[in-house]
Amino acid sequence: MKVIRYALYAVIALIILAVAAVAIAVAVINPNDYKPQIEAAVEKSTNLQLQLEGDIGWSFIPLGLELNQVEATLEGERFIALEQLIAQIDFWSLIAMSPQVNTFLLNGLDAHLEVNEQGEGNWARIMPEKTSDSSDTAAQESPAEPAEQAAGGTPLNFNVENVEVSNASVHYNDLSTGQSVTLEDFTVSASNITLGSEFPLDIRFRVETTQPVFAVDGNISANLTANQALNEFAMSGLQAVFDMSGAPFGGKSVTAEMGGSLVANLENETASLSDFTASLANLKLSTNLNVKGFGDKPAIDGRLDVSEFSLKQLLSDLGQPAIETEDPEVLKAIALSTNLGGEPGSVALSDLKIKLDDTSFNGGGSYTLATGGLVFDLNGDKLNADRYLPPTPEEDEAGSPEPAAEGSAQQTSTTNQPETDLLPLETLRTLLLDIDFGLGELIVSNLTINEIKASTTAKDGLLKVDEFSGKLYEGSFGANVTIDARSDNPKWSVRSDVSNVQTLPLLTQLAEVDMLSGGANLKLAVDTNGNRISALRNNAKGDISFNLAEGQFRKMNLTRMACQGIALVNQDSLTTTDWGTTTPFNDMRGTLKINGNTLNNTDLVAALAGMRLEGKGTVDLEQSAVDYELGLRIVGEIHRDQACRVTEYVENVVIPVECRGNFSEDPAGLCSFDGSRFRDTLQDIASNVVRAKAKEEVDRAKQKAEEKVDEAKQKAQDKVDEKLQEKLGEEGEKVKDALKGLFK
């Protein structure tokens, strides 16, 4: 027991002696006397030139060091400077193996980082270049760190009473890019930092850049907690405010804010965001989110909400160009909400609700992190897309030709612009999609489409629109499209089937063309290849078969054109003045052969009142030109006008009509009576008339001759009868009867 007691006395004595030695050293030794040696040691081991202009102070209880007015230059230019550094550690806490920092104060830090034109940073030149021999010697002299030390031992009970960084700045200048970044007014304040306990943290700073010209003032405050193993962290009461301005915001000032709580466990690989909010101008997001697994297959669970906001107001607040729309009241009420979940490695959205002004969408989807696969199912009620189009340019009320000339110049400039690719092929080849979309009503280009259904898939560069269908103007349509983008010359395949779509409202609202009505039925099959509009049009091959039932041609009267030809045949003049502006027909049908920009039709037929429409022609889509030769074959009475009476010479005659011109300019004036072709018809009719009249004269002369012969025969017979009667009396009658029987 005495040995133990003496050993304890010895230890206490050593501690007292050590404390006394340190106290005497602090009291006797003046560290300012060693400034030259410190500066020389730094210059010997680095390329820095150290200048200790201020006092160096140290204390015993607490054990601390104070530096004032320190500057280090590199190659004659300031690299880092410091106004004041105070670091104080409680001496007794070191002896108790529970280090406690009383104060850490850093004031006036000024660092200058620069990258030259060759991309080399000045910090890389702090240490002198080592020769291979010195490197090998250093490697041999530095012993390997014990495994136990590398792995770490028992966590220390680390405590910090006060940490303060103030008036710090960092200047970064990249001569190779011209970019300059400045961090200034950087301040950090924390107190009572104890592992396992909550402590407050405040951070303030200002950052400025030159490319682009941008500045942000930040202010962050929160309460932090970290366990002694430093593998579990918590943050609560987060309040972060960032005031931003500069070129990205058009010179305006914008405020972004964040708030909420965070808990993370590095060992279990879990993290949780609670009541987290983020806002930018009038855009506000809120979420509660749990994440399990920090690898490539995290599991996510939570909810995300974006409160209703005005996109137009947001763009204005951010200093961005305004979006001009036909309806100025759209894009002012947008919102989103969804549940987050899914299997590990994927993000699934459920109960997804999207609001776009007065349109509502509902659905869900998922995104697979490893493959980038996107699965989506979204359904909406109604959407008027025309409201979101750019506004229609207003016409010049004064009718000045200058705006028209300017518009023409702009149109010519646009036309002469080089074409660009339609599809980003490389991106398309990476897509993995399975998307279903539905919409109750869609208004686009003045067309009203109902019950829209669309289904799209994409994999390995093969994009398929398996279904695109809907109801349109008392009819329906369906289509499917395949785009094979696996080569640099993508192949397109389009198939469509339209049933009983009324053409009058369709053409009127789509292109303001009201020259045709009827229920349209058509089948389209087109194949083409290319990645530009011109290539797709030039390479197009396919067929369009169509028929229109119970329709009419509007703004043209084909009956009048036919009657003009009939009147010429009858050598008469039409007296009717009110012909009307329409021509009804039944079952107009035909087939269009697609060959590049040209549509060829050789079998156009339609049944009209007393006529049969027959025709053939071409449509040039590139020139917006039509060239058609039509024929109106007379098969019955067509009009009550006497000059239009159908005689035997007119029946089955074809009255020619031509349709030529630019259908984008004056569709109603395309078709007219073809007088040049009708001259040939008249010659044929005249020849038929001459032949008919000659035959009639021959038949009439023959009939007269036969009548005279019969008359002469009758007279001779009567004379013979008379003579026999006179000569033979009663016997003469018997002879006459006998002769009749003989010569019958």
Q: Which two tokens stand for residue 621?
A: 């889509």
pLDDT at 151: 42
Residue 550 is inside which H or E element, if any? strand 541-554
Instruction: Tell me which of 517 and 462 has the higher pLDDT.
Output: 462
- The average pLDDT across 167-176 equals 92
Q: How many CB atoms lie within 10 A of CB 531?
A: 19
Q: Is the pTM of this model over 0.85?
A: no
* Dist CA 96 CA 182 (whole Å): 43
Q: What per-residue confidence (pLDDT) applies to 727?
A: 60
Task: Tell me the C-alpha to C-alpha distance, in Å, between residue 39 and each of 108, 266, 419, 710.
Answer: 20, 43, 67, 158
Beta bridge partners of 73: 49, 78
Phi first, then psi, for residue 28 (nearest 5°) are -95, -45
Yes or no: say if 183 and 176 are a contact pair by the CB < 8 Å rule. no
Neighbours of 276 (CB within 10 A): 19
Kindly report the backbone phi and psi dihedral angles of residue 579, in degrees, each rounded to the nearest multiple of 5, phi listed first: -90, -15
Binning pLDDT at 50, 70 and 90, where does residue 472 land? confident
pLDDT at residue 441 above 90?
Answer: yes
pLDDT band at residue 209 using 50, 70 and 90 as cut-offs = very high
Task: Give a yes or no: residue 171 inside a domain.
Answer: yes
Per the structure, the count of domains in the chain is 2
Bridging pattern class, strands 159-174 and 373-384: unpaired
Query: What does the pLDDT look like over 263-284, one tens digit per residue?
Result: 999 999 999 999 999 999 999 9
Between these two residues, 208 and 707, which has the higher pLDDT value?
208
pLDDT at 16: 53
Domain that holds residue 184: 1-124+157-211
- Domain edge (last residue) among 177, 211, 245: 211
**What percent of the chain is modeled with pLDDT above 70?**
74
And the tokens for 516?
A: 């045709």
Closest to 524 measured CA to CA, from 472, 592, 461 = 592
Which residue has 């009708």 as its token pair? Answer: 678
Model confidence at 130: pLDDT above 80: no
Neighbouring residues of 91: CB distance < 8 A, sequence distance ≥ 6: 19, 22, 60, 61, 62, 63
The pLDDT confidence band at residue 426, using thresholds 50, 70 and 90, is: very high
Q: Hey, which residues does 279 pair with through a beta bridge?
A: 257, 284
679: Cα within 13 Å, side-chain hemisphere? 2
Is 218 within the bounds of a domain? Answer: no
Kindly tell me the burial class for residue 678, based on how many C-beta atoms sit within 10 Å of its own C-beta (0-12, 13-18, 19 or more).
buried
pLDDT confidence bin for 657, thresholds 50/70/90 = confident
Q: Classify residue 726: in a domain, yes or no.
A: yes
**DSSP-based three-state secondary structure for 733:** helix
Return the pLDDT at 482.
Answer: 95
pLDDT tens digit sequence for 479-513? 999 999 999 999 999 999 988 888 767 666 666 66
Higher pLDDT, 420 or 398: 420
Instruction: Please check the confidence at residue 744 and state whether its pLDDT lies above 90.
Output: no
192 inside domain = yes
The 3-class SS string of 215-253 reads EEEEEEEEEEEECCCCCEEEEEEEEEEEEEEEHHHCCCE
Cβ burial, residue 711 (10 Å; 0-12/13-18/19+) = exposed
Q: Provide, rounded to the nearest whole percent, the portion of the chain with pLDDT above 90.
A: 39
Residue 136, pLDDT > 80, answer no
Q: What is the mean pLDDT of the chain?
A: 81
**pLDDT over 80 at 478, yes or no:** yes
* 350, part of any domain: no
Q: Sort residue 440 into left (φ over 0), alpha (ψ -120 to 50) or beta.
A: alpha
Query: What number of other Cβ atoms are within 10 A of residue 315's Cβ?
Result: 16
pLDDT value, residue 381: 94
- Residue 501: per-residue pLDDT: 84
Does any domain span residue 398?
no
pLDDT exceeds cutoff 60 at 540: yes
Q: Can you say how many angstroms the Cα of residue 96 is from the centroid of all Cα atoms in its chain?
A: 66
- Residues contacting residue 457 through CB under 8 Å, at least 6 positions apart: 433, 434, 435, 463, 464, 466
pLDDT at 119: 86
Cβ atoms of 243 and 207 within 8 Å: the answer is no
Q: What are the φ/ψ torsions at residue 734 (nearest 5 degrees)?
A: -65, -40
**Structure token digits, residue 647:** 């005689």
Q: What is the pLDDT of residue 355?
A: 96
Residue 554 lies in a domain: no
From 14-18, 177-181, 311-315, the region with the lowest mean pLDDT: 14-18
Sequence-ordered strand ranges (E) for 503-540: 516-529
- Residue 489 tokens, joined: 């010359």
* Dist. CA 201–CA 198, nearest whole Å: 10
- At what angle are helices 675-728 and 558-569 packed, to 10 degrees? 50
How confident is the model at residue 326, as a pLDDT? 92
d(CA 171, CA 168): 10
Per DSSP bridges, beta strands 159-174 and 100-107 are parallel
Cβ neighbors of 659 (< 8 A, separation 6 or more) are 617, 626, 627, 628, 630, 670, 671
Confidence of residue 610 (pLDDT cuts 50, 70, 90): confident
Tens digit of each residue's pLDDT (9 = 90 or more) over 61-113: 666 778 888 888 988 888 999 898 887 776 665 555 565 667 888 899 999 99
Residue 39 has pLDDT above 60, yes or no: yes
Strand 432-444 versus strand 199-210 pairing type: unpaired
First-to-last CA distance in the chain? 182
Distance CA 668, CA 514 (A): 9
In a domain, 203, yes or no: yes
**Burial (CB count <10 Å: 0-12, 13-18, 19+), residue 453:** middle
Q: In angstroms, rounded to a whole number, what is the distance separating the alpha carbons of residues 42 and 35?
A: 11
Which of the listed residues 194, 211, 228 is the one where a domain comes to its end?
211
Per-position b or e across 279-292, b if 16+ CB within 10 A of its CB: bbbebebbbbbbbb
Neighbours of 1 (CB within 10 A): 5
Please tell me the predicted confidence (pLDDT) of residue 230: 87
Identify the pLDDT of residue 341: 94
Residue 454 has pLDDT above 90, yes or no: yes
Cα–Cα distance, 240 to 204 (Å, whole number):
10
